[in-house]
């Protein structure tokens, strides 16, 4: 089939979104491709369509287990066979999955980056016909990005065995520096292509309010803007407090964070998606992979620590193309507190060593051992046990992840799985020896097809009802069958997990890469300064500021953000405009100068009018803003 026929058959669309077809064509030509598509821009179609058009299987590398599972399920719902391998699966489950990838009729294999260097994966890699490598959330490969994950650096090693297989790297938000780093770390060929969709969201109005009472402002917003809403908060406690406050004010609301059970998270998410809940108050654990088109407003109740996160989260509003609002609430103290974050987020080496030792002691790991083992890990219990500030513990764990010592999965859910480890003759003999266990064996065989060949996801509640036993008795019998060696049974897990990626270091040999660590700290500081500048900016169009941050220059003023509306209401006569513009050009004739310095010299001129004229001159390319934030004359415009 052609790519258009594939799009129509499996997705029901008659045409592609902007840039999708160009990206797909480049992939089908065998080129390495970096695709920067804003949130909601349809990234998955860019690798799923060409994969279906090619022979072989597409290897999809994704860091998000929940998103990975959703995409695999969505593909299966379309009749497209897909597989996934992620942290927490047993050896047998992984082996069966790789065997199916090598010999079965599957089109997609989703893999978490940690799995790429395991001996089992490398053993099967040569016999899997991989036609395309898709790297989702590709900014994770760059330590200059906002979500650096060291396991992503292993992807380049695939090229040693798959030198002729093209790589498609996808991300929603990456600065030019991060884009260059992605291409370098993935060893892109000289003929690689880059595609960047415009960051313009013509229907999305950005606004920022410095308010004394955030609660009152939030109520005002939700009473004025009807429809579905997301409220992003920095703390779990805030999500519940806000949801309770909204309910007291007759606004249908719920809350969501990683501390809830998997079943509860799924239930609340579904209620919101299906419009049974109007407002969801949540941490940034919510929203990834959710494509709800009719969200009318996204409110940030707290200032995020970078524009990358803010843009992605705000971009969940108005995907149906209708007018929507992205509102950020703040107070002056918040901005001051943000400036303190680099020292908090990046503890000194002694603090890191102290927390590392405490984690190893908590997990009871002896020096020189532990690599590859998973542990349930309750961060709050750990912090209380060792009297460590929970935020300090959180940021040290993040550092240890970036140093490739461990991985921490806070939103973890692994359903129960079961496969028979005996053949049918052995099962019959076992039933004669243990007749009391025959009903549960028969129940398994009748409920789950293919359970001799591949681990099946089982539901103990349904199984208990089917064999007419109580749930605890059913679970006990499954455990007994496992202990007797008839089955390989892995009960569900719904707790945060730590996986050790290295053996525990001896105390006198503990080391981190301090040079790179301090570079990441400086980069984080720069991102904070960028979001503070964005919040404090009184004049320049907010859409343009975001676009320029991501190297999407030349965007026209949106006309609907708070700054654009303020400027539109500010009337300037032609004569007044020419006077202000003339004085600006006088000041920058010989050399660039900071806007504040220009304003000091233009006595008697209204500050807002100065900024309105400046913004217009920038949009008309008569003046430029340098990297240092200075105003300079655009000489090409006057040649």
- Over residues 415-454, the pLDDT tens digits come to 788 989 888 889 999 999 999 999 999 999 998 877 887 7
Residue 248 tokens, joined: 């007291």
- The interaxial angle of helices 438-447 and 471-483, nearest 10 deg, is 90
- Over residues 342-391, the pLDDT tens digits come to 999 999 999 999 999 999 999 999 999 999 888 989 888 999 999 999 88
pLDDT at position 532: 95
- Over residues 500-532, the pLDDT tens digits come to 989 999 988 899 999 999 999 999 999 999 999
pLDDT band at 639 (very low <50, low <70, confident <90, very high): very low
- Over residues 591-612, the pLDDT tens digits come to 888 888 888 888 778 887 888 8
Among 73-77, 107-111, 629-633, the range with the most confident prediction by mean pLDDT is 107-111
Q: pLDDT at residue 149 above 90?
A: no
Dist. CA 474–CA 467, nearest whole Å: 9
CATH number of the 204-330 domain: 3.40.50.300
Structure-derived torsion over alpha carbons of residues 610, 616, 618, 623, reported in degrees to the nearest 10: -70
Q: What is the third-level CATH fold of 338-413+495-520? A: Arc Repressor Mutant, subunit A (1.10.10)
pLDDT at position 88: 67
Q: pLDDT at residue 179 above 70?
A: yes
Percent of the chain with pLDDT over 70: 97
- Over residues 82-110, the pLDDT tens digits come to 999 976 677 888 899 999 999 999 999 99
Dist. CA 95–CA 507, nearest whole Å: 36
Q: Helix, strand, or coil here: 431? A: helix
Dist. CA 323–CA 207, nearest whole Å: 13
Identify the DSSP state of 573.
Answer: -
pLDDT at position 47: 97
Residue 203 tokens, joined: 């229907």
Percent of the chain with pLDDT over 90: 60
Within 146-261, residue ranges assigned H as helices are 176-185, 214-224, 236-248
pLDDT at position 393: 93
Average pLDDT, the chain: 90
pLDDT band at 413 (very low <50, low <70, confident <90, very high): low
pLDDT at position 637: 59
What are the extents of the domains in the chain? 3-196, 204-330, 338-413+495-520, 417-490, 570-639
Top CATH class of 570-639 equals mainly alpha
- Fold: same for 3-196 and 570-639: no
- Over residues 289-330, the pLDDT tens digits come to 677 899 999 999 999 999 999 998 999 999 898 999 999 999
Dist. CA 112–CA 478, nearest whole Å: 29
Question: How are the residues of the chain apportioned to helix, strand and coil, as percentages rounded to the nearest 5?
Answer: 50, 15, 35
Dist. CA 312–CA 316, nearest whole Å: 7
Q: What is the third-level CATH fold of 3-196? A: Rossmann fold (3.40.50)
pLDDT at position 113: 87
- The tokens 């405490």 sit on which residue? 358
Closest to 493 in 3D by CA, of 566, 411, 590: 411
Q: pLDDT at residue 163 above 90?
A: no
Residue 153 tokens, joined: 């650096």
């Amino acid at each position: 089939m052609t790519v258009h026929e594939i799009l129509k058959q499996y997705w029901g669309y008659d045409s592609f979104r902007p840039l999708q077809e160009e990206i797909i064509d480049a992939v089908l030509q065998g080129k390495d491709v970096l695709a920067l598509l804003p949130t909601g821009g349809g990234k998955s179609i860019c690798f799923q369509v060409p994969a279906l058009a090619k022979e072989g299987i597409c290897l999809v590398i994704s860091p998000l287990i929940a998103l990975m599972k959703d995409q695999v399920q969505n593909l299966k719902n379309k009749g497209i066979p897909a597989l996934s391998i992620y942290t927490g699966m047993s050896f047998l489950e992984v082996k069966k999955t790789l065997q199916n990838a090598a010999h079965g009729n599957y089109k997609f294999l989703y893999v978490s980056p940690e799995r790429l260097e395991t001996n089992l994966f490398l053993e099967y890699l040569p016999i899997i016909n991989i036609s395309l490598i898709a790297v989702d959330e590709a900014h994770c490969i760059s330590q200059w990005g906002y979500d650096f994950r060291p396991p992503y650096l292993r992807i380049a090693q695939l090229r040693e065995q798959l030198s002729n297989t093209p790589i498609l790297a996808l991300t929603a938000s990456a600065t030019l520096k991060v884009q260059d780093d992605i291409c370098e770390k993935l060893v892109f060929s000289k003929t690689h292509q880059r595609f960047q969709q415009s960051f313009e969201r013509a229907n999305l109005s950005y606004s920022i309010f410095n308010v004394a009472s955030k609660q009152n402002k939030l109520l005002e917003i939700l009473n004025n803007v009807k429809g579905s809403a997301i409220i992003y908060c920095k703390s779990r406690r805030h999500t519940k407090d806000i949801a309770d406050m909204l309910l007291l004010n007759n606004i249908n609301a719920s809350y969501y964070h990683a501390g809830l059970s998997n079943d509860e998270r799924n239930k609340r998410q579904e209620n919101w998606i299906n419009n049974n809940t109007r407002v969801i108050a949540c941490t940034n654990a919510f929203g990834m992979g959710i494509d709800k088109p009719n969200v009318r407003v996204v409110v940030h109740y707290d200032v995020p620590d970078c524009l990358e996160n803010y843009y992605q989260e705000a971009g969940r509003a108005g995907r149906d193309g209708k007018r929507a609002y992205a509102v950020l609430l703040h107070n002056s103290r918040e901005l001051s507190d943000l400036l303190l974050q680099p020292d908090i987020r990046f503890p000194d080496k002694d603090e890191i060593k102290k927390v590392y030792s405490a984690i190893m002691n908590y997990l009871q790991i002896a020096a020189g051992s532990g690599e590859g083992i998973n542990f349930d890990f309750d961060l709050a219990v750990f912090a209380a046990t060792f009297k460590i500030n929970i935020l300090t513990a959180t940021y040290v764990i993040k550092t240890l992840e970036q140093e490739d010592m461990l991985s921490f999965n806070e939103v973890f859910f692994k359903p129960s799985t079961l496969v028979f480890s005996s053949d049918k003759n052995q099962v019959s003999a076992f039933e004669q020896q243990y007749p009391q266990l025959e009903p549960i064996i028969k129940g398994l065989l009748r409920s789950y097809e293919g359970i001799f060949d591949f681990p099946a996801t089982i539901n103990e509640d349904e199984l208990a009802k089917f064999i007419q036993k109580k749930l605890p008795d059913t679970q006990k019998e499954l455990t007994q069958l496992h202990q007797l060696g008839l089955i390989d049974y892995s009960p569900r897990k719904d707790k945060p997990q730590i996986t050790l990626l290295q053996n525990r270091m001896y105390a006198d040999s503990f080391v981190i890469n301090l040079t790179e660590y301090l570079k990441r700290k400086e980069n984080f500081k720069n991102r904070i300064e960028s979001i503070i500048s964005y919040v404090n900016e009184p004049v320049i169009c907010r859409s343009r500021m975001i676009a320029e941050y991501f190297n999407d220059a030349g965007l026209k003023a949106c006309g609907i953000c708070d700054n654009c509306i303020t400027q539109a209401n500010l009337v300037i006569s032609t004569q007044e405009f020419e006077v202000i513009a003339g004085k600006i050009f006088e000041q920058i004739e010989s050399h660039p100068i900071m806007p504040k310095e220009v304003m000091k010299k233009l006595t008697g001129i209204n500050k807002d009018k100065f900024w309105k004229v400046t913004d217009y001159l920038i949009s008309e390319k008569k003046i430029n803003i340098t990297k240092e934030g200075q105003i300079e004359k655009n000489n090409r415009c006057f040649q």
